[in-house]
Chains A and B, each alone.
Chain A
Amino acid sequence: MKVSELVEKFELNVYSGLSGLDREVTGGYVSDLLSDVMGNAAENEVWITLQTHQNVVAIASLKDLAAIVLVKGMEPDDDTLERSNQEGIPILGTPLSTFEMAGKLFVELEGSGA
């Protein structure tokens, strides 16, 4: 599944990083601790978080993550937007809570074939 399909399916806001919308999504990771993501997230996963500063883009880029989803209507900082456009990593947004967003994504990616 592509990031753009997730955007459509879950009516996500696209804040930035449009050039990465055709990235392939193979899973998700949920954490607000940056070292946890650094140590444990895997390539092509979507990262669900409430952190809005630019280091999330640095980490997503280093880990080759597919996209970042900000929860509860949180918006990225200006320098986060800029960096996301440079790196081509989409920053998406949802009014949903982390629990709800992760649940929907899990069902979509892992639950359907179970």
Chain B
Amino acid sequence: MSIELVFHIAGGDFSNAGKASSHIKKVLKQLNIDSKSIKRIVVAVYEAEVNVAAHAFSGQVTAQITEHHIEVVVSDQGPGIENIEQAMQPGYSTASKEVREMGFGAGMGLSNIQKNTDELSIESRVGEGTIVTFRCNYL
């Protein structure tokens, strides 16, 4: 079994942040994936969506759902990340004042993704964009 789901995200569009994670959650529930794994996956996908909305011009979420795991690739066209190690540090954020006032941009996004996934890789080119790939194995 393998299901591919693709979602587009527009930069700055917070009203649609959560569409991909919400849809993925529904599909995983229908497939009777254990709820603990679904909870982890939902956190990781949501944070990745918010990162695209907060920082990039546009992006795409592609989820490959198999019997044993889910692999998610979030690629964006955006400013890229200069120092990935720094960006991973809890509390580090480059979010705008407006984004912070909404309660986003607390510098917890990437560490939330890391905590809730089994494999995570981030590739980024400054001035071009970022590709975040992660995998969650079900329990």
Contact = CB atoms under 8 A, between A and B. Distances in A.
Task: Give chain B's interface secondary structure class.
Answer: helix
Given A62-B21, A62-B22, A36 B46 contact: no
A51 B42 contact: no
Interface in B1-25: 14-15, 17-18, 21-22, 25
What class of interface size applies to chain A in its complex with B? 10 to 19
A36 B21 contact: no
Interface in A34-65: 34-36, 38-39, 43, 49, 51, 53-55, 58-59, 61-63
A35 B42 contact: no
Nearest to B14: A55
B56 to A, nearest CB: 17
A38 B43 contact: yes
Interface in B74-106: 102-104, 106
Contacts of A32: 103
Interface in B81-139: 102-104, 106, 108-109, 112, 115-116
Interface residues of B, number: 22
A81 to B, nearest CB: 14
Interface in A54-84: 54-55, 58-59, 61-63, 79
A114 interface: no
Interface of A: 32-36, 38-39, 43, 49, 51, 53-55, 58-59, 61-63, 79
Given A61-B18, A63-B39, 16 more contacts: A33-B103, A34-B50, A34-B102, A35-B108, A35-B109, A38-B43, A39-B115, A53-B102, A54-B15, A55-B18, A55-B103, A58-B22, A58-B46, A59-B18, A62-B25, A63-B42
